Amino acid sequence: MTASSPLSVLVAALADGSVEVVDLTSPLSASTPVIQLPPEFGQTAPFALEEISRYDERGPAWYWNNFTSGEHTGTHFDAPNHWVTGKDLADVASVPVRKLIAPAVVLDFSAEVEKNPDFLVEVDHIQAWEAENVPLPSGGWLFVRTGWDTRSHSQEAFLNADETGPHTPGLSPECARWVAHESPVLGLGVETVGTDAGRAHSFDPPFPCHSYLMGSDKYGLTQLQNLAKLPPIGAVVIAGPLPIVTGSGAPARVLALVESR
C-alpha cells in the first residue's frame, strides 16, 4: 500500500482516532434474551457454554469451550432463506461478502417509543426523514433506533409481553413492504429481538418485515446496540455472520466505522 492509497488512509484514520469503531453487538451469554414463540412451535436454544478444559488434567495449557446457540440468538443476521417467502434464495453462507460492508443511516424513533412501546414506523416517517436529510443509501442499511437496547439486560423487559403478546416497536405492514420492494436498501437493522414488531403476528401479512424482506432477497440485523453512538448519516457497517452452510442466519459481530465528532 502506498501512503495515499484508500486502505492506507483508512488505517491511518483508525490509528489517529479520526475514524472510530463502534461495536453494535450484544455480548452473548446465558442471559442474552431470546425470542419466545407459542408453545406449539419449536423454540430456539439460549446461548450456553460447555467447558472442555481450563488449564487442568483435561488440557493442562489451554482453556476452551463448546457452545450451543440458536442461529437467531443475540445480535444476528437474517438470511433470505429464513422465511418461507425466501426459501429458494440464499443461505447465510451464500450472502455475497461485498454486501457485508455497507453504509447505514439511522432513523431515531426513541422518543416515540418511550411513549408507546407498540409504535410503528410508517412510510411517511421515512420519507419525511429523507426530505430533511438524504435519500436512503442504495445497497446500504436502514437502522431504526428505538432505545430498546437499554432493555437487553432482562428477558422480561426485552420481550415486554403480557397476556396479549409482546409489545415492541417495529414497522407497519405497508412500511415493511415499501422498504422491501421500493427502497434501495439491502436490509433493515433493529434493536429488538426480531425485525418485526411485537404485534406482527396479527398483521396482514403476519410478520411483514420477515415476509417482505426475505422474499425480496434482503437481510435483517437484530438486537443491535449502541445505535445512539452513530450519526444519522455517514456510518459504514461491517456485519460478520458465521457462514453456516444451509443456515438461515447466524450470530454476528456488527461494527460501525464513524468519523470522530
Instruction: Identify the bridge partners of residue 241 per DSSP, sorted by sequence position.
Output: 252
What are the cell numbers at 8? Answer: 492506507
Q: Is 72 one of the catalytic residues?
A: no
> In the block, which residue shows the cell 469503531?
21
Helix, strand or coil, per DSSP, at residue 73: coil
Q: In whole angstroms, what is the distance from residue 23 CA to residue 7 CA? A: 21
The answer to whether residues 226 and 215 touch, using CB atoms and an 8 Å cutoff, is: no
Q: In whole angstroms, what is the distance from residue 151 CA to residue 93 CA? A: 30
Q: For residue 217, which of 95, 115, 107 has the smallest C-alpha distance?
A: 95
Which of 72, 82, 125, 210 is the catalytic position? 82
The answer to whether residues 169 and 146 touch, using CB atoms and an 8 Å cutoff, is: yes
Residues classed as catalytic:
82
